[in-house]
Structure 1
Amino acid sequence: MSSVLFHDGQFFRDDKMLVGAGSRGLRYGDGVFETMKVNRGTIQLGSQHMDRLFAALQLLEFDCPGFFTSGYLLDKIKVLATRNGHASLGRIRLMVYRGNGGLYDPENHYPHHIIQSWALPPANHQWNENGMLLGIHRKAQKAADVLANCKTNNYLPYVMGALEAKRQKWNDALLMNTSGRVCEATIANIFLIQDRRLVTPSLPEGPVAGIMRQYLVRKITEYGYDLSEQPVTEEQLLGADEVFLTNSSYGIRWVGEIGAKKYTSHLTRAIYQEIIQPLFLSPSA
């Protein structure tokens, strides 16, 4: 069965051509996106995703009409996921982009939007028994600027990291910021554990302000774990006892190796069982 997508108020076949050569989204990456999970008919942490999206749209000076609200987008996501048969467990990508025009003369600042959905396998909700293999990408670095915490459509550092990860047969690549410190992975935030103390790069260091990261930082504190948001050096990374990645799709994935360094997963697994599994069972938490 073919899938459909939602674009600017209408449903189309997912192979529909939607933008032309004059699109600022195509020319300049002028826009932002959100990747979300539909779980048991609920958009997991949906309100947090909408808060991040609309903060980014305000930063990028989009002109949102009255109907373009969190409620409108969340409703269309659910309708699309249901139509495509992805409402039980699916991945959503919502992209908002500016329309036609040159750099200094956009036609307008209307938030054109595309919503797509895909099915996720049951393994998405399962603990990864085999630790991930990561490497460090050093060619493209992440600037810790005003855009760094947003998921913008200008994604080239992550593209470069993903190309190297595929070439090197890594599961993901770690990006460094322009100060030479650990920033994040291409599709996830990163946490370290040393002597049962958790550390994650602080937002001024340039990582995307991940929704699962935000959720976990809050929950970890509630559960009494010791957590610090701070700059993270490569030396700290390679000296850690455990490393794990987080994103909205898979929750937590523990890392088994980075280069010659091997990691354990004892505390990471406890955090998964205590915090992430309950979220999967009650996605609106």
Structure 2
Amino acid sequence: MTATTQNRTGSAGLESADTDGSAHSGGSRLRIWIDGRVVDTPDEARVSALDHGLVVGDGVFEALKVTAAGPFAVQRHLDRMTRSARALGLPDPDHQTVRSAIEAVLAGREWAEGKIRITYTGGHGPLGSQAAYGPQTLIVAAEPREVSPAITTIATAPWRRNEHGALTGVKSTSYAENVRGLAYAHHHGASEAIFLNTAGNVCEGSGTNVFCVYGDRVVTPPLSAGPLAGITRELLLEWCAIEEADLTPTEAAQADEVFLTSSMRDVQAVRRWDELEYGAPGRITTQLAAEFARHSSDLIDP
């Protein structure tokens, strides 16, 4: 690794632009399924002011990419959504209904690369933290996206993840902590914030998993460290030789390469982490990115 000290300008610049792949398209290119019907504008897709997903964040979600071949890894995302729903005490979402909604919002699309957001909440509930009454709310939305760049920069957030919390490992709609972390990263000229956990070890990004490379050895924090079980992370662990181990900030700083994974970023090399710089993309990151691209192009629903 080449490590140099770099002065921060405090200006986000180009690297503060959203890199989750969302095109912010709106209009007729955005399609939303809600209550069994498809609408083309957000104003037509309304939920109750008493929806528990709005009132207390009692809901879960999934975001998955769409390519020319179709939506990627749908079943894995549905399985994770079910695990998240069970963790919140919500009934299992109906997978076939979600799949039908995905087909509906993608029907007749004029774009190849896109994003699907699936939101599932407790539905109507009290103005407090008691259980929702239901029935549950399901929303599936799709829009085109710009493919994420191959290289990015990251910044360490000043807040810690609780690896023992009730929402650890749950992809909950209670996402304000991530919103704040991402804003911090943008303010510091980065596209992603990296959180440590309460033990002081590397945990995850606001919407990504983190990997460090030491020679030919690739390491990512274990789920016991508190990160979300990312779908791209899961597939890389199945397809490639990668270790799970706790990483201290000092150990992470000694890495030869660092990369992120997520459903929108795939395998994304890190050029700068705070003041540390890397020759990105490195050899191993390039190999793993190619391996992931090869497997994912062969298997649309691995």
Q: TM-score range by the shorter chain?
A: 0.7 to 0.9
Can you list the C-alpha shifts for 1:127-157, whole angstroms capped at 9, x where unaligned? Answer: 72xx31111011x321113421121011122
Distance change (3 Å), C-alpha of 1:198 and 1:146? farther
1:53 aligned residue: 81
1:158 aligned residue: 178
Q: Distance in 2 between matches of 1:22 and 1:72?
A: 23
Q: 1:247 aligns with which of 235, 239, 262?
A: 262
Distance change (3 Å), C-alpha of 1:257 and 1:142? same
1:74 alignment partner AA: R
Distance change (3 Å), C-alpha of 1:72 and 1:260? same
**Are the equivalent residues in 1 in contact too, given 2:124–2:134 (CA < 8 A)?**
no
1:174 aligned residue: 194
Query: Structure 1: which 5+ runs fail to align?
Result: none
1:31 aligned residue: 59
Q: Distance in 2 between matches of 1:77 and 1:170?
A: 32
Q: Distance in 2 between matches of 1:159 and 1:6?
A: 25
TM-score between the two structures when normalised by the length of structure 2:
0.83
Q: Pairwise mapping of residues 3-14 of structure 1 onto structure 2 (< 5 A)?
A: 3-14=30-41
Can you list the C-alpha shifts for 1:58-107, whole angstroms capped at 9, x where unaligned? Answer: 2212134xxx5222212211220224434x32100101011222235545
Distance change (3 Å), C-alpha of 1:5 and 1:119? same
1:268 aligned residue: 285
2:155 aligned residue: 135
**Are the equivalent residues in 2 in contact too, given 1:99–1:106 (CA < 8 A)?**
no
RMSD between aligned alpha carbons? Answer: 1.9
Q: Pairwise mapping of residues 203-222 of structure 1 onto structure 2 (< 5 A)?
A: 203-220=223-240
**Are the equivalent residues in 1 in contact too, given 2:220–2:245 (CA < 8 A)?**
yes
Q: Distance in 1 between matches of 2:122 and 2:98?
A: 17
1:78 alignment partner AA: E
Q: Secondary structure at the match of 2:261?
A: strand
Quote the sequence identity (%).
25
How many residue pairs were aligned? Answer: 270
Cα offset for 1:195? 2.2
Q: Secondary structure at the match of 1:29?
A: coil
Q: Secondary structure at the match of 1:79?
A: helix
Distance change (3 Å), C-alpha of 1:245 and 1:151? same
1:110 correspondence with 2:135: yes
Q: Secondary structure at the match of 1:53?
A: helix
Q: Pairwise mapping of residues 57-136 of structure 1 onto structure 2 (< 5 A)?
A: 57-64=85-92, 68-86=93-111, 88-102=112-126, 103=128, 105-106=130-131, 108-121=133-146, 123-124=147-148, 128=150, 131-136=151-156
Q: Distance in 1 between matches of 2:292 and 2:31?
A: 34
2:297 alignment partner AA: F
Distance change (3 Å), C-alpha of 1:198 and 1:72? same
Q: Distance in 2 between matches of 1:30 and 1:84?
A: 31
TM-score between the two structures when normalised by the length of structure 1:
0.88
Query: Structure 2: which 5+ runs fail to align?
Result: 1-26
Cα offset for 1:257? 1.0
2:274 aligned residue: 259
Can you list the C-alpha shifts for 1:199-242, whole angstroms capped at 9, x where unaligned? Answer: 1011111111101110011111xxxx3x2212111111111001
Q: Secondary structure at the match of 1:152?
A: coil
Q: Distance in 2 between matches of 1:280 and 1:89?
A: 13
